[in-house]
Amino acid sequence: MIVGLTGGIATGKSLVAGELKKLGAHIIDADKIAREIVEPGKPAYNDIVKEFGAAVLKPDAAIDRKALAKTVFCDPVALDKLNNITHPRIRERIREEAGRLSAQGDKLIVLDIALLIEMGVRYEVEKIIVVYSDAEQQLERLMKRDNLTRDEALKRLSCQMDIKEKLKYADYVIDNSGQLDKTIEQTRSLFNKIEGLKNIKKGT
């Protein structure tokens, strides 16, 4: 069974993914895949350099992800160009990894991907988990995590799909607005529920 795990920036998605992994789920990390496909020599790397130039490269010629993000940040045209280069390759790698893990056994497969909704990957998972936190807490976490001013954090959030919009697609919601132990408790409970669904599907 493959489920999608998503959420807004700084809502706690990585925390939930880590706990699901501890519980025995296979995690497909879309951000890791996104980093791998832009390594020097890879087709996506060549396309990015051709499109955006040497300004997005580090001295060692690797992609400078921060510089690239700054280049496309809140620029729909530039972002669309980048997405057209990376998204098809990310989706392809996700499918390959999901197929490989499915062949290994019956463990729960969790696709950890921030852009699950935006990339249309929601059609490739059976259930969707959205990690949520209230707006003020999300803002404060983002400011602390990335060392941003309030205005900088608000601007970054304004360029992404609102977490409340993502909730419309959720089969399950984990509320990370409270204490850490509460989030972990919700995650464990949800893991057990999904494992129960797997057993029902198998007719056991």
At 152-164, the pLDDT tens digits run: 899 888 888 988 9
| Contacts of 47 by beta carbon, 8 Å cutoff, 6+ apart | 85
Average pLDDT, the chain: 92
At 80-120, the pLDDT tens digits run: 999 999 999 999 999 999 999 999 888 899 999 999 999 98
The two three-digit tokens of residue 150, written as one number: 């309030």
Up-side HSE of residue 97: CA atoms within 13 Å toward CB?
19
Q: Which domains does the chain have, with CATH numbers?
A: 1-25+107-204 (3.40.50.300), 33-105 (3.40.50.300)
> From the CB of residue 28, how many other CB atoms can be counted at a distance below 10 Å?
24
Could you tell me which of 86, 82, 106, 99 has the C-alpha nearest to residue 30? 86
CA separation for the pair 81, 20 (Å, rounded): 34
The two three-digit tokens of residue 45, written as one number: 């790397």
